[in-house]
Amino acid sequence: MSLHPKTTRWFETFVPREQTVYALEALAATGRVELEKDFISQPLVDTRELRISIRQAQRLTARYAELLPATRLGSHVFTLSPEITAKQALCELRRWLSRHLRLQRRLRERERKWRNLELLRECLASMGDAADDLVDFARQGPFLCRQIYAYPRSADGRTAEDPSGVTAVYLGDAHTFQVVLCLPERRAAYDQACRLSQCEAVTLPDWLIRHWPNRHDQLDKRLAALWAQMASLERRLQEHPQDARLANALSDLAVLDWYLEHTVTLTEDRRHCYLTGWTTAEGPRVLQQALDRVGIDAKILFRAAPRGHPAPVGIGADGLVSPFRLFVNLFGTPGPAEFDPAALLTVIVPVLFGFMFPDVGHGLVLAALSMLLSVRFPALRFLVPCGLVAAVFGLLFGEAFGSHAAMPAILFRPLDDPLLVLLISLGFGAGIILLGLVLSGIEAHWGGSLRQWLWRDAAVLVLYASGLVGLFYRPALVTAMLALVWYVAGLLITGRAQLWRGLGRLAQSALELMLNTLSFARIGAFALAHAALSNALLELASLIEVPALQIMALLLGHALIIVIEALVVFVQTTRLILFEFFTRFLRADGRIFRPLESPGTRP
């Protein structure tokens, strides 16, 4: 659990052109590298060809997304340049799509033939002996149109009516068949009726006419053969997406698309790429080992960062601290020479929250609800310790769902001694403000300005502390006077020309410290309000004579108290932390270190 942001270092490396993509992957896999994009004024000059290939591949994958398998990123090294790799992957994608679409067309063609023969078999069965005349029907001259239409039986047997044609109607098991012989100009009427009634045209294949006496056997053989071909094609279509070459091609295209998002520079010899940025690694060995493991021929160098490029800071992801980083993020990011207060908030926030929400029942309910909701909303995890501390204060004050009969107070009851509650809250505030002033001194030591802090801000700290003690112990006011002399002497030593400005700053600081301290009285006020509201709910519920309604009123009332007060207390805690604590020492002039994400971790 670090109290100081993790420092980052500037690294540089030159990578062979054909290994650049995989070098980026290897560095991203460490989770300890951030590329410096603003440093490079001239991006890679020959990415146009690569981008064209990637865009063409993206159009194909978007158009045929339902056919393609999910992209699984591999771990193979590119042996060729990114441009050639992208072209090869695009060609493989096109080859696979061509084969897949060709298989689909062959399957649809056989499905149409199989459907036609199925309808024809039903038609022949419905015609009975009249089917013998169909062979003559099929052999009519070219000046007459011959067609068989299959209407669904759901159409109530209705068929096209045209007095200019010779028709015959037969009822099958699932269709009504209309055999039509007409002049060519009259066929449009039958076709229109076919389209409106969702009927299907049935054709007589030439091979069946040649074997008409054995038509039933021929139909069965051909249907069986078509069925076997369709099963084979469907099996091939299901196996086709498992093609290893397609998987590698999609993986290469995804990695190259990710690669284009990051800026690299091509060296003058056009054989190497220059990569640079920030890392949280303590030495080059970690990054060097990452490159060596995948066979990248490059050397990692740590150098001084260029001027005008402030280093980002690494923020820890400790499981206990991370829920409370919410408050730090609201204020900003601590700089490299600033104190990271997230660890301190694991104590300060629950204490402030719990003191304003002192109830055993309410605290435990809030902690339980937070644990359940944090599965869906991880940001709510900080409420779990807040609820538990609220239960502890409720135990000390003898509060359980507003009832005093459930347990005795270990310390005292807030409504019995409200002045003491307010004094304790002011003590909390004074302690937090003093902590902020001490942290400002630690930061001054880190930043090399400790001498100025000792002459000025340290005097303010002693003046504030002695003034607080002087409220209860008069001799401490002598220390306050000495601190005032100390401050004036510091102004004369460190900056005589700014004496009056420094005195004005002292007056402003004294007023701010006094107001900030009084602001913590709200902690006690909300503790008293919580106790009063809980007691009022019990009093109102006691007036209800129906037990069931009384229980419902208590449940609803306590639910409203937990939700509304928890929200109000959270707002007040956030305000006190940001404006009374952070403003004492935190400038938030840092930038968060954002590690380069691997292509497999992107949404």
Q: What does each C-alpha distance from 585 to 47, 360, 579, 582 come to in angstroms? A: 47, 35, 11, 6
| CA-wise closest residue to 318 among 355, 345, 356 | 345
Say if 102 falls within a structural domain. no
**Helices (DSSP H) in 414-498: which residue ranges?**
418-447, 450-455, 457-470, 476-495
Query: Does one domain contain both 149 and 39?
Result: no
Q: The tokens of 484 are what?
A: 């005032």
With a cut of 80, say whether residue 494 has pLDDT above it. Answer: no
pLDDT category of residue 125 using cuts at 50, 70 and 90: confident
pLDDT tens digits, one per residue of 357-403: 999 999 999 999 999 998 888 888 999 999 999 999 999 998 888 88
Domain count, the chain: 3
Yes or no: say if 516 and 577 are a contact pair by the CB < 8 Å rule: no
The set of residues, in sequence order, having a beta carbon less than 8 Å from that of 103 and lying 6+ positions away, is 233, 236, 237, 240
Query: Does one domain contain both 568 and 547?
Result: yes
Say if 85 falls within a structural domain. no
**Helices (DSSP H) in 197-311: which residue ranges?**
206-210, 215-239, 244-260, 284-293
For the CA atoms of 463, 468, 473, 476, the dihedral, rounded to the nearest 10 degrees, stands at: -10
With a cut of 90, say whether residue 66 has pLDDT above it. Answer: no
Say if 224 falls within a structural domain. no
pLDDT tens digits, one per residue of 215-270: 888 889 999 999 999 999 888 888 888 788 888 888 888 878 877 766 566 665 66
Check residue 45 and give its pLDDT: 47
CATH number at residue 167: 3.30.70
| CA-wise closest residue to 250 among 122, 64, 392, 484 | 64
Check residue 237 and give its pLDDT: 86
Domain boundary among 249, 283, 312: 312
Query: Does one domain contain both 440 and 526?
Result: yes
Domain boundary among 162, 189, 219: 219
Q: Lowest mean pLDDT: which of 364-368, 530-534, 556-560, 593-597?
A: 593-597
The set of residues, in sequence order, having a beta carbon less than 8 Å from that of 458 and lying 6+ positions away, is 441, 486
Q: What does each C-alpha distance from 325 to 329, 336, 342 come to in angstroms? A: 6, 17, 5
Query: Does one domain contain both 394 and 279?
Result: no
- C-alpha–C-alpha distance, residues 34 and 38, integer Å: 12
Yes or no: say if 530 and 356 are a contact pair by the CB < 8 Å rule: yes
Check residue 186 and give its pLDDT: 66
Q: What is the DSSP letter of 45?
A: T
With a cut of 80, say whether residue 426 has pLDDT above it. Answer: yes
Say if 511 falls within a structural domain. yes
> At how many degrees (to 10) do helices 48-63 and 244-260 cross?
130
For all residues of the chain together, what is the average pLDDT?
A: 82
Query: Does one domain contain both 303 and 326?
Result: no
- When pLDDT is averaged across residues 183-211 and rounded to a whole number, the result is 74
The set of residues, in sequence order, having a beta carbon less than 8 Å from that of 178 and lying 6+ positions away, is 148, 149, 151, 159, 160, 167, 168, 169, 190
Query: Does one domain contain both 434 and 566?
Result: yes
pLDDT category of residue 545 using cuts at 50, 70 and 90: confident
* CB-count exposure of residue 286 (10 Å: 0-12, 13-18, 19+): middle
Say if 227 falls within a structural domain. no
Check residue 457 and give its pLDDT: 82
Q: Lowest mean pLDDT: which of 181-185, 211-215, 256-260, 581-585?
A: 181-185
Query: Does one domain contain both 298 and 375?
Result: no
Residue with tokens 């007040």: 572
Check residue 163 and give its pLDDT: 46
Say if 444 falls within a structural domain. yes
pLDDT category of residue 74 using cuts at 50, 70 and 90: low
- When pLDDT is averaged across residues 557-581 and rounded to a whole number, the result is 92
Check residue 143 and give its pLDDT: 57
Check residue 42 and give its pLDDT: 45
Q: What does each C-alpha distance from 530 to 357, 382, 383, 421, 565 come to in angstroms? A: 7, 21, 17, 12, 8
Query: Does one domain contain both 478 and 532?
Result: yes
Q: The tokens of 522 are what?
A: 């709200």
Query: Does one domain contain both 289 and 335?
Result: no
Q: The tokens of 159 are what?
A: 């068929």
- C-alpha–C-alpha distance, residues 521 and 419, integer Å: 10
- C-alpha–C-alpha distance, residues 349 and 172, integer Å: 81
Query: Does one domain contain both 504 and 383?
Result: yes
- C-alpha–C-alpha distance, residues 339 and 350, integer Å: 20
Q: Kindly give the pairing relationship between strand 166-171 and strand 265-266.
A: unpaired
Query: Does one domain contain both 434 and 331?
Result: yes
Query: Does one domain contain both 548 and 415?
Result: yes
pLDDT tens digits, one per residue of 264-298: 666 656 677 878 888 988 888 889 988 888 888 88
- C-alpha–C-alpha distance, residues 5 and 522, integer Å: 32
CATH number at residue 292: 3.30.70.120
Q: The tokens of 306 are what?
A: 């260029």
Q: Which domain holds residue 207?
A: 119-219
pLDDT category of residue 73 using cuts at 50, 70 and 90: low
Q: Lowest mean pLDDT: which of 326-340, 454-468, 482-496?
A: 482-496
| CA-wise closest residue to 259 among 40, 94, 35, 79 | 35
Say if 73 falls within a structural domain. no
With a cut of 80, say whether residue 498 has pLDDT above it. Answer: no
Q: The tokens of 14 are what?
A: 């030159």
With a cut of 70, say whether residue 503 has pLDDT above it. Answer: yes
- When pLDDT is averaged across residues 314-325 and rounded to a whole number, the result is 77
171, β-bridge pairs: 176
Say if 256 falls within a structural domain. no
Q: The tokens of 294 are what?
A: 């995948």
